[in-house]
Chain A
């Protein structure tokens, strides 16, 4: 953690978090804008740090768990920034930035593992991994938004209106932001999985290759499509949909940890 890009990224993310928290407390527009600015700066330096890391290890940055965690943090921040611009809402930044920071620190405080190169490589494989991690980041963001929704909804129903409730985004907007995020995740994971199959197909002698990851990924895809459908049109809209979104993310975490570690042959990072 002594590379200038890493220090600059850390500084930018910490400042962005501080400014977003202050924005949530005071509602001052200028603080929110500065929070966004530092997040954008952090994204640039984080990208340069990832580039540096991939050059250093002569492979893609997500070759190991730490690299993939760092990329996850970067994509989480990027997805959030996109969502912030699209929905013109900054109050969520204070809740998302801690996750970005945790993933960034966890990835970069530890030394890079030198693992054997993956079975496959190339642009298609790189896109497969990047899109899959982007999907996980988008699902993580929808998880955070759903948690905020449930907290705010609970306070509104119980008439417990503290300082925070007046500053958070309206429930309707949180639902829309969560759906946007899930849409990004579903599209990314669908394309990413298809590209994964293309990569496997290119491996000589691996045509009948099977991995438990296929099943869990299909399950994740179905669950999020279900959420997307239920949250929009039926009696599930509101808190029920948010709970389903949280459940879906638990499945994603299981996929990323238990399945990758113990059940998958080709998605192990450590």
Chain B
């Protein structure tokens, strides 16, 4: 009942290799079927995201023995040369495989530390594999544990709470001033990539109304259509600045496009209703003195980048706490695994002893013809009683005492000691 993991991620493989080794749902199902039909794995789960492709499995024999077969399978399945793939692949076994998955689920192994999406991806991969019947008791327990770790890390640490992109940080700051965005309006000046990112964040936060102002009206209309906004004519500041609470500017201009007098007159028209200005242009799009106006909050690209850096540091400081949760659950899983294995071992031992008893009685009783049938039955009964006494107490202790199970680290050694290899359950 060992666990093996073979995979690659953003640290070990280039984007080209990651793209070639990624799995669609259909491919994941097919790979799981083939791995089981070829006898490489008994239980299988494929986790494939944009940054990682990993195959988790329970092999019929030793996990170390099945890993080369698993690597070859991946190479064959995705038609990637083994020498190209082997430099990108990592192999983890048992404790390390469990720890790896729990760290993945917690967001500790992600490109963006603490990102929340991975937990959903792990949940989806598990749901899919479970529905296909590819998982069994071990992987079920393992992935349920991984989901629990992910949830705990997110609720008990601050690993995923702070915004990690300039766009997200800007929107979070706007929420510090206005609260929920669902009754607010935003004006986006410029229709480039960064504007698109901010607009996407604002839409995710439920912004009520969106206006787009751009030199090229076509592009403005395109962005407005994409995010269900309206277009405002370039330079029509008097009308454009009357209603929005948030203004995001990211145009390419040598001179500031939003000058103090424009904002000053807009604020008078707005009766000083608060205005949050995000200046993401380089050079700056908003005149520096605008920040001195009453109820106007100006954040530049540098300010937001500083916040992102602070957040990154804050997230990194949470790693030890998150790792603590991971280790706690690794211990829990291994303890469960040991208990299942130990109970199996005791059952196998009991069956073996019954066989031995039967053979022993057969051999010895042949020369004891003087014994009546009743005496023979009595002798057999006494032997049964003794064997049960020998095994019953340890079996009960193993079931009941968690600490004892934890102390027994090497179940294989016990198995080798009491049972021959052919009798492994």
Contacts and interface: CB of A to CB of B under 8 A. Distances in A.
Interface of A: 27-28, 152, 156-157, 159, 161, 165-166, 168-173, 233-240
A27 B161 contact: yes
A172 B161 contact: no
B297 A172 contact: no
Interface in B176-215: 176-179
Interface in B306-326: 306-307, 310
A173 B297 contact: no
Contact of B271 (A27, A159, A233): A233
A238 B293 CA distance: 12
A128 B424 CA distance: 86
B179 A170 contact: yes
Given A237-B295, A238-B295, A170 B272 contact: no
Contact of A172 (B155, B172, B179): B179
Contacts of B297: 156-157
Interface string B245-278: 0000000000000000000000010011110000
Given A159-B303, A235-B268, 5 more contacts: A27-B161, A170-B178, A234-B271, A237-B271, A240-B294
Nearest to A29: B155
Contacts of A27: 158, 161
29 contacts: A27-B161, A28-B155, A156-B173, A156-B177, A156-B297, A157-B291, A157-B297, A159-B299, A161-B173, A165-B176, A169-B179, A170-B177, A171-B178, A171-B274, A172-B177, A172-B178, A172-B274, A173-B179, A233-B271, A235-B271, A235-B272, A235-B294, A236-B272, A237-B271, A237-B272, A237-B274, A239-B294, A239-B295, A240-B294
Nearest to B307: A161
Contacts of B238: none
Interface in B64-112: none
A240 B271 CA distance: 13
A235 B294 CA distance: 9
A161 to B, nearest CB: 6
From B172, B179, B303, name the one whose CB has the most chain A CB atoms within 10 angstroms.
B179
A156 B176 contact: yes
A157 B303 CA distance: 11
A173 B303 CA distance: 24
Q: How large is the interface on B (under 10, 10 to 19, 20 to 34, 35 or more residues)?
A: 20 to 34
From B268, B291, B294, name the one whose CB has the most chain A CB atoms within 10 angstroms.
B294
B34 interface: no
B396 interface: no
A159 B297 CA distance: 9
B228 interface: no
A238 B178 contact: no
A167 to B, nearest CB: 10
B347 interface: no
Contacts of B388: none
A170 B303 CA distance: 19
A238 B274 contact: yes
Contact of A238 (B162, B176, B272): B272
Nearest to B169: A161
A29 to B, nearest CB: 9
Contacts of B307: 161
Contacts of B291: 157
Contacts of A236: 272
B175 interface: yes
A166 B176 contact: yes
A169 B274 CA distance: 16
Contacts of A161: 173, 307, 310
From A152, A159, A238, name the one whose CB has the most chain B CB atoms within 10 angstroms.
A159
Nearest to B270: A235
A92 B161 CA distance: 20
A264 to B, nearest CB: 39
Given A161-B307, A237-B273, A238-B274, A170 B294 contact: no
A23 B177 CA distance: 20
B295 A170 contact: no
Contacts of A157: 291, 297
Interface in B231-254: none
A171 B272 contact: no
A213 to B, nearest CB: 36
A171 B274 CA distance: 10
A196 B176 CA distance: 43
A171 B176 contact: yes
B271 to A, nearest CB: 6
B354 to A, nearest CB: 53
